[in-house]
Amino acid sequence: MLIAASRLRDASLRARFLTMSRQFKDWLRQRDGFIRYELFESDEGWCDTMLWRDRASADDANRAFRATPIAAAFAEIVEPDFHIFYGRSFVLGTSETDR
């Protein structure tokens, strides 16, 4: 799973951000290993979650995405201090070693 947290440079860019996020989701659907995309909004900003088959698929897509016009457009409207987290889910059971 990849989680990205970001903020818009200005609240007036919300509609543009949502349009670009739809384009991004369409782009993701064409990538090998892509499973799911979700977008969340809060008063503090935005959070995207992307579920991938594996880390290699996520890394390949991330490298390819940086060269797209969509990435350049996001860079114009999103604050540069966004954060990315890569991880895998952990199913909590009766012991700490359960997965």
pLDDT tens digit sequence for 3-52: 999 999 999 999 999 999 999 999 999 999 999 999 999 998 999 999 99
Please say whether the beta carbons of 31 and 61 come within 8 A. Answer: yes
* More confident: 67 or 90: 67
What amino acid occupies position 13?
A: L
* CA 30 distance to own-chain centroid: 15
Polymer length of the chain = 99
Range 57-75 burial, b when 16+ CB lie within 10 A, else e: bbeebbeeeeeeeeeebbe
pLDDT-derived band at 64 (thresholds 50, 70, 90) equals very high
Residue 69 has pLDDT above 60, yes or no: yes
Q: What is the pTM of this model?
A: 0.83
Q: Which domains does the chain possess?
A: 2-86 (3.30.70.100)
Query: How many angstroms separate the CA atoms of 79 and 35, rounded?
Result: 27
